[in-house]
Chain A
C-alpha cells in the first residue's frame, strides 16, 4: 500500500500557545485512519492545516506527493472536507447547495448535474432535494454536509467529528456511510473524541492529546500497550462524588490509575474481578452511592488513560 498522506513534524502556534506540537503520521491509500483525542487536543487544527485552510507554523505534509504548503490549490482538488460544524447555506435548497459547492470544486454542466443526482441518492435525500436546508432535521443537514464533501470524488476525505450533537439513529447512518465510502475505495481521515467510533471504524488510530501524537497503530497494537489491563467505569449521581472517588481509588490495591470525568470514574485495573470488591468496599466506606459499574476489556479508553493519566471524555 502507498501512503496517500504523509505528515512531517507539523507545528501550529498561536503566539505562546502551541496548538499542534510536531505531529507526524502517514495514512495508507484505502484505509480509515482515526485521530482520537479529547476536545482541544489539536484534531481540528491538524485537519485545518492538512486541508490548507491554515498555514502551518513549521513542518509540512504531502497528499499524493503534493505539498500542502507549496501547492495548496493542487492539494484541494484531491481532498474533500466534512467540517465539524454544518457549513451549508440554510436558505438554499439541498440541490442548490450541492450545485454551488460542486461549482466551487470546478464541476460544470452535465457532469455537475450527474454528480449532484448521484450524491442526492447517496445521502438519501432525493425526495427533499428541492426543500431549503433550514427545514431539515439535524441528521438530514449532516447528510447534506457530508454530501458536499463527496461531490468531486476526492481521493482523501477529511471528516472532522461528523457525529457531534446528533441523535443515535443519524450517528449510526453516518458511521455506516463512512464504512460504505471506504468499501468503495475512499481513504478517510476521521477525527473523533468517541472511543467507540474510532474502534468501530478505524484500520489505524492516532491518539492525540495537547497537540502531541502520543500513540499510533492498529487497535490491537495500541491495546497491547496497556497489557492485559481492564477498565472499570463507575457511574455516580453527583460529579463531586466522582472527583472524590478518583483521588481516593488511586490508592486502592489493584488499581493502576483512576480518573474522573463528569459523573463517572474510569479505573484501570490488572484484573477486574479482583479489583471490583475493594473498589466497591471503598465507595461504601466513603458513603458514596454508586449508580452502576461497567467492566471493559482492554480498549482505547484504557490506552488513553494509561498514556495521559486522564479520561478521554475530559
Chain B
C-alpha cells in the first residue's frame, strides 16, 4: 500500500513539473472559462445564462386566481426566452410529455389550490392542496430553473396572503370593515400584495440554498465546471499516457524488477492519475472562486462531486490505456475523446438542446453527470440533490475500472 502512494505522489510531482501539461490542465480551462464569460456578458453585466426555451407543461385545474397567476407567470414576456410553456388540460398527457423527453417539468395545479391558500370558506381553512411538479431527471438544470421560478411565485403568494391577513385584521380591529366583508377585502388585498411583490422584483433564476441563504444562478458556474470537466479528460488520458510512456522509457520495467507487485504499480499509477485529476479540479474551483467570485454551492457536495467526477474520468482514462498501445496514439485519441465528451457532455452547449438519442448517449460521459451535479449545487442544491450524478459517476468509474483491470491482466503491464 505504501508503494502505491509513493508511485502516485511521484506521478503527481512529475505532472506539476511538466509545463505543457500544466498549461492544458490549468491555464487552458481557466482561459476558456474567462473567454466564455466575456462572450456571455458575465463581466459586462449581461444576463445571458446560456439556458433557453425550457419546455414546461402547465395543467391548471384550479378555478381560482392563484392558479391562473402561476400560468400567467410562465406565459409572461419576461420569461419568453427562458420558458416555452405548453398548456394541457390532462395530467396524463403532461406526464407523457415528460416521459417522452418533450418537456423538463409538468406543473399540475390542482383544483382548490387558490382556496387552500386564501380560503373563502372559513370551515375549510385546514384544507391543504399542493402543487405537483413532475420532473424530467435527464434535464436537471432546467428542472432547477423551473423549481426556482415556482418557489419565487409561491413566496410572492405567501407575501400576498400575509399582507391580506394583516390588513383585514387591522381593519376589523379598527371597525373600518364588517367581518362579513373580510374575505372579499382580504382577497383583493392579498392579490394586490402579491402583484406588488411580483412587480417590485422581476422573476429571476433564483432559489434558496440548503442553509437558507440565497444562491444566484451564474453563467460562469455553468461554464467553469464544464471546462474543468472537459480538461479533466485531458488529465486522465495524459496520466494513462504516462503509464505507456514509462513502458517505453524503461522506468516501468525497472520498477517491475524491484520487489514491487504489478498490482502495486498499476494501483500507484491509477492513484497518481486520480490525485492529479482531483488537484486540477480543486485548483480550478479555488481559482474561479477567488478570481471570478463563482459560487459553486455546497462545499461538501462540490468535494464529493469532484472526487466522483474524477473517478468516472479515470475509468475512461484506464480503458483507453488498456486498449491503446503507444503514448502517441493515446495522446491523439485522448484529445479527440476530450473534445467529443466536451461537446456531448454539455461543456460547450447545454445538452438539453441535444436530440433525445444524443442526450441519452451523453450519459456515458463523466462531463454530463458532473455538470448536472455542479449546476444543481450552483442553483442551491445540496449533497442529497446530487445523489443521481454521484451514483452515475461512481457506477461509471467502478465499471470501467473493472473492465480495464481485466484488459490489463490479459495484456500485462510489460510485453514479454
Contacts and interface: CB of A to CB of B under 8 A. Distances in A.
Name, among A73, A79, A103, the residue most crowded by chain B CB atoms within 10 Å (CB to CB). Answer: A103
A278 B152 CA distance: 109
B14 A92 contact: yes
Given A91-B17, A103-B6, A53 B260 contact: no
B250 A83 contact: yes
Interface string B35-74: 0000000000000000000000000000000000000000
B251 interface: yes
Given A83-B250, A85-B250, A91-B18, A104 B255 contact: yes
Interface in B1-41: 3, 6, 10, 13-14, 17-18
Which interface class (under 10, 10 to 19, 20 to 34, 35 or more) fits B? 20 to 34
A55 interface: yes
Interface string B252-268: 01111111110000000
A76 B254 CA distance: 11
Name, among B14, B250, B259, the residue most crowded by chain A CB atoms within 10 Å (CB to CB). Answer: B259
B175 interface: no
Name, among B3, B6, B257, B260, the residue most crowded by chain A CB atoms within 10 Å (CB to CB). Answer: B257
B212 interface: no
Given A73-B259, A76-B258, A105-B258, A87 B17 contact: no
A105 B255 CA distance: 9
B253 A83 contact: yes
B3 A53 contact: no
Given A83-B250, A87-B249, A87-B251, A53 B14 contact: no
A104 B260 contact: yes
A52 B255 CA distance: 11
Interface string A230-244: 000000000000000
B416 interface: yes
A198 B397 CA distance: 53
B14 A91 contact: yes
A79 B254 CA distance: 12
Interface string A73-90: 100110101010111110
A171 B410 CA distance: 40
B10 A53 contact: no
Name, among B3, B6, B416, the residue most crowded by chain A CB atoms within 10 Å (CB to CB). Answer: B416
B259 A53 contact: no
B204 interface: no
Name, among B250, B256, B258, B416, the residue most crowded by chain A CB atoms within 10 Å (CB to CB). Answer: B258
Interface of B: 3, 6, 10, 13-14, 17-18, 249-251, 253-261, 414, 416
Given A73-B261, A104-B255, A105-B258, 20 more contacts: A48-B416, A52-B257, A53-B253, A53-B256, A53-B416, A76-B257, A76-B259, A77-B259, A81-B257, A85-B249, A86-B250, A87-B250, A87-B254, A88-B251, A89-B10, A91-B14, A92-B10, A92-B13, A92-B17, A100-B10
19 contacts: A48-B253, A51-B257, A54-B416, A55-B416, A76-B257, A76-B260, A77-B259, A79-B257, A81-B254, A81-B257, A87-B251, A91-B18, A103-B6, A104-B6, A104-B259, A104-B260, A105-B258, A105-B259, A106-B259
